[in-house]
C-alpha cells in the first residue's frame, strides 16, 4: 500500500536521480566541452599537458558513466515501487535509507574521477612549466581574506549545535559505544578533514602554475565557501537525525537521506559550477610566452 511517506520518497529520489546524474552531469560535461571548443590546444597549449584525444576520451567516459547511473536510478525506483518488498530490507517496515545512500555514493564516483584527473593534470602542468621568471602575488592571503568570518562562525555554531542536540535528545550519554558518541566523533573527524582540505587550499602552494591571481582567488573563495556549506549541511542532517529519535521520523529516513545527498551535491558541485564560470576566467595565461600572474 502506497502511503504519503512512500509517495514523497518516490518524488524526492527521482529528484536525486535527475539532479546529480542528469542536470549537474550535463552542466559539467557542457562546461568541459565549452573549454575544449573555445580554447583549443593549438592556441592555448599550456592548458593541455596531455594529447587532446585523452580529454575527449575522458569526456566520453564521464558521459557514459552518468548515463548508466541515470538508467540505474530509474531501475532502482522501479524496483522499489513495483518489485521489491522494501519492508524486508528495513527492520522498521519502511523504505530503507540504503537505497538513496548507496546510489548517492555511486553518483559521486564520476565527479571524483574528474577531480583525480584534474590533480594529475595540474601535476603535469607544473612539470612542464619552464618559465624562468614567475610573478607572485603580494596580496596577503589568509583564511578570512577568502572566506566570510560570519560563514565560518555559522559553520562552527552549527557543528556545536548539532552535537548539543544529539546529546540532549539522548540525555547526555557519554559512552563510546553509544550511537550519540559515534555520530559526534564522525562529525568532528569529517569537519577536521574539511578544515585540512581548506587549510591546504589557502596556505599551500598554488596548484596551477599558470592561473591568473584573480582566478586563483576566486577559486579559493568558491572552495572555502563550498566546504563551509557542506559542513553546515552535515551538521543540520546530524541534528535532524538525532531529533528523529525523539519524534519518530523512521518513515522519513530514506527521504531525508536522499535530500541530504542532494543538498551536498548542490552545495559543493552546484555552487562551484555557478561560481566559477569559464566565461569569467582569464585563459590568456595558457598561451605560449605568457607568464603566470
Q: Is the pLDDT of residue 257 over 60?
A: yes
The share of the chain scoring above pLDDT 90, in percent, equals 57
pLDDT given for residue 250 in this prediction:
75
Q: Note whether residue 137 is domain-resident.
A: no
Instruction: Give the HSE-up count for residue 228: Cα atoms under 13 Å, Cβ half-sphere.
Output: 21
Confidence of residue 213 (pLDDT cuts 50, 70, 90): confident
Q: Note whether residue 226 is domain-resident.
A: yes
Confidence of residue 93 (pLDDT cuts 50, 70, 90): low
In total, how many domains does the chain have?
1
The Cα–Cα gap between 11 and 262 comes to 13
Contact 210, 125 (CB under 8 A): yes
Confidence of residue 97 (pLDDT cuts 50, 70, 90): confident
Q: Which residue has the higher pLDDT, 156 or 81?
A: 156
The reported pTM is 0.85
pLDDT given for residue 138 in this prediction:
45
Output the average pLDDT for the chain.
87
pLDDT given for residue 86 in this prediction:
53
pLDDT given for residue 15 in this prediction:
97
Confidence of residue 94 (pLDDT cuts 50, 70, 90): confident
Q: Is the pLDDT of residue 159 over 50?
A: yes
Q: Is the pLDDT of residue 74 over 50?
A: yes
The Cα–Cα gap between 276 and 212 comes to 13
pLDDT given for residue 133 in this prediction:
44
Q: Note whether residue 291 is domain-resident.
A: no
Confidence of residue 10 (pLDDT cuts 50, 70, 90): very high
Q: Note whether residue 134 is domain-resident.
A: no
Q: Which domain holds residue 176?
A: 4-129+142-286
Confidence of residue 255 (pLDDT cuts 50, 70, 90): very high
Q: Note whether residue 83 is domain-resident.
A: yes
Q: Which residue has the higher pLDDT, 292 or 109?
A: 109
pLDDT given for residue 68 in this prediction:
97
pLDDT given for residue 4 in this prediction:
82
Q: Note whether residue 91 is domain-resident.
A: yes
The three-point CA angle 247-81-12 to 5° equals 55
What's the CA dihedral at 167, 172, 178, 180 to 10 degrees?
Answer: 0
pLDDT given for residue 268 in this prediction:
92
The Cα–Cα gap between 223 and 257 comes to 24
pLDDT given for residue 190 in this prediction:
94
Q: Note whether residue 136 is domain-resident.
A: no
Contacts of the segment 155-161: beta carbons below 8 A, 24+ positions apart: 155/228, 155/231, 155/232, 155/235, 158/231, 158/232, 158/235, 158/236, 159/187, 159/188, 159/191, 159/231, 159/235, 161/235, 161/239
The Cα–Cα gap between 102 and 243 comes to 23
Q: Is the pLDDT of residue 90 over 60?
A: no
The Cα–Cα gap between 229 and 188 comes to 15
Q: Note whether residue 292 is domain-resident.
A: no
pLDDT given for residue 292 in this prediction:
44
Which three cell numbers, joined as nine digits, stand for 56? 575527449
pLDDT in tens, 127-152: 877 655 455 554 456 788 888 899 99
Calculate mean pLDDT across residues 187-204: 91
Phi first, then psi: what are they for 255, rounded to 5°?
-65, -45
Amino acid at each position: 500500500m502506497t502511503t504519503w511517506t512512500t509517495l514523497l520518497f518516490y518524488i524526492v529520489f527521482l529528484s536525486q536521480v535527475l539532479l546529480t546524474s542528469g542536470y549537474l552531469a550535463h552542466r559539467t560535461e557542457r562546461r568541459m566541452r565549452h573549454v575544449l571548443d573555445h580554447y583549443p590546444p593549438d592556441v592555448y597549449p599550456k592548458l593541455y599537458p596531455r594529447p587532446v584525444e585523452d580529454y575527449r576520451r575522458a569526456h566520453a567516459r564521464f558521459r557514459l558513466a552518468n548515463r548508466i547511473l541515470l538508467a540505474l536510478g530509474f531501475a532502482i525506483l522501479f524496483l522499489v515501487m513495483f518489485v521489491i518488498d522494501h519492508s524486508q530490507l528495513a527492520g522498521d517496515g519502511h523504505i530503507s535509507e540504503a537505497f538513496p545512500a548507496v546510489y548517492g555514493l555511486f553518483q559521486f564516483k564520476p565527479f571524483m574521477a574528474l577531480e583525480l584527473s584534474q590533480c594529475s593534470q595540474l601535476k603535469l602542468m607544473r612539470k612542464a612549466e619552464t618559465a624562468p621568471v614567475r610573478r607572485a602575488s603580494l596580496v596577503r592571503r589568509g583564511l578570512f581574506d577568502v572566506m566570510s568570518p560570519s560563514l565560518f562562525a555559522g559553520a562552527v555554531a552549527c557543528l556545536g549545535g548539532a552535537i548539543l542536540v544529539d546529546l540532549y535528545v539522548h540525555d547526555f550519554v557519554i559512552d563510546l559505544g553509544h550511537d550519540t558518541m559515534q555520530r559526534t566523533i564522525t562529525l568532528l573527524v569529517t569537519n577536521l578533514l574539511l578544515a585540512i582540505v581548506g587549510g591546504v587550499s589557502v596556505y599551500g602552494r598554488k596548484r596551477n602554475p599558470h592561473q591568473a591571481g584573480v582566478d586563483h582567488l576566486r577559486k579559493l573563495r568558491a572552495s572555502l565557501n563550498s566546504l563551509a556549506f557542506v559542513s553546515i549541511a552535515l551538521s543540520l542532517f546530524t541534528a535532524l537525525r538525532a531529533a528523529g529519535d525523539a519524534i519518530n521520523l523512521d518513515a522519513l529516513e530514506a527521504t531525508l537521506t536522499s535530500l541530504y545527498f542532494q543538498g551536498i551535491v548542490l552545495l559543493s558541485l552546484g555552487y562551484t559550477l555557478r561560481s566559477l564560470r569559464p566565461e569569467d576566467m582569464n585563459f590568456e595565461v595558457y598561451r605560449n610566452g605568457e607568464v603566470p600572474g
